[in-house]
Amino acid sequence: MNIRITRLQLAIFTITFLSGLCMGCESGGSDEKGEATDVVVVVNKEEITREDFQNELKWSKRKYRVRKNDVVEPNQETWLKMNTLNELIQESLLRQEAIRQGIKVTSAEFEKYLDQNKEGYKEDTFERALEIEEISRYQWDEKLKANLLIRKLTEEVINRKIEIPEKDMLDYFNNNKEEFQKGEQVRTLHIMVETEDEARRILKMVQKGKSFSDLAKEHSLGLEGKSGGDMGYFEAGQMQKEFDGVFELDVGSVSDIIQTPYGFHIFKVVDKKPERNMNFEESQKQIHAKLLHEAQEKAFQKWVDEIRQKAEIIIKYEILDSI
């Protein structure tokens, strides 16, 4: 199993979780008439049933890579259940808030979001993947709709209202300059072909003085072939490891044939830039993204905590324990 939770971590999580529910929270295992129910938690009169909880628990185990036949230790199972309960309550509260603010997901928005989440699957492999995970298509769609609705709500209420002043970005740059460095870069022309024989014929033509760019336009299967094979600048580690030897070549030099699973490659180095520190202008986009994410996370958590404190949350612990 991939979950590693100590008893101390579990205790801290439990205390933090319960403290977030303390306002307006009750517990019980029966309805107003004293009859047993199958409801695990009630969030502002919205009931979350045993089935809802079990489905969400399945999602949680999938997220933390817990396989069907894995042996889960008691403390890990407790953590999974508490985390699942927390996520269900938060999802319910945010869905209610979206309704209150009149925020909805249109059919077109959902279809676009669905297509994005299905990218990479071929034909019926998507449905097969759901079967393996024991998740119905209805459950999958409902989870995506909930995620998209909460994303729209968060964007409207939190993200659009947050701005990062340039002074804050400059302060971060000045205090963390070690984060903003560019390694050595090379600019290359690239030719990729299917067979080693073809690569050898092209390499001989290059060695006899034939234009590398013209050969790339004529023979290369790479996307950059139409532009003469120009790959622009890249650093070591940004490309496949087989290409790292290109950094040892001098400007104007041509590589030997390099084989990868995609084909056979030849490179010509046309320029090199030494390792250097980035200036503020180059780093600004990266800093903005980092500070914006941190600010959004902080504002989101504060907002959710405020919503929780105003909510009436009733947890049926004896039913939860029986799951």
SS (H, E, C) 252-302: CCECCCEEECCEEEEEEEEEEECCEECCHHHHHHHHHHHHHHHHHHHHHHH
End-to-end alpha-carbon separation of the chain, Å?
Answer: 20
Q: Which is more confident, 75 or 6?
A: 75
> Residue 30 carries which DSSP code?
B
Domain with CATH 1.10.4030.10 in the chain: 7-157+310-322
Q: Report the pLDDT value the prediction gives residue 123, as an integer from 0 to 100.
A: 64
Predicted structure pTM score: 0.59
pLDDT in tens, 192-234: 999 999 999 999 999 999 999 999 999 999 888 888 999 999 8
CATH of 182-273, one of 3.10.50.40, 3.40.50.300, 3.20.190.10, 3.40.50.10320: 3.10.50.40
**pLDDT > 70? residue 244:** yes
Q: Which is more confident, 148 or 61?
A: 148
Question: Where residue 137 falls among pLDDT bands split at 50, 70, 90?
Answer: confident
Q: Which of 184, 292, 196, 281 is nearest to 234 (CA)?
A: 184
CATH architecture of 7-157+310-322: Orthogonal Bundle (1.10)
Residue 112 burial (CB count, 10 A): 11
Q: Report the pLDDT value the prediction gives residue 122, as an integer from 0 to 100.
A: 66
Q: Which is more confident, 237 or 250?
A: 250
pLDDT in tens, 163-179: 999 999 999 999 998 88
Confirm if 199 and 266 have CB atoms less than 8 A apart.
Answer: yes
Q: Report the pLDDT value the prediction gives residue 175, as an integer from 0 to 100.
A: 95
Q: Report the pLDDT value the prediction gives residue 174, as an integer from 0 to 100.
A: 94
- What's the whole-number average pLDDT of the chain? 84
Question: Where residue 184 falls among pLDDT bands split at 50, 70, 90?
Answer: confident
Question: Where residue 120 falls among pLDDT bands split at 50, 70, 90?
Answer: low
Q: Report the pLDDT value the prediction gives residue 181, as an integer from 0 to 100.
A: 82
Domain with CATH 3.10.50.40 in the chain: 182-273
> By mean pLDDT, which of 60-64, 75-79, 128-132 is the weakest?
128-132
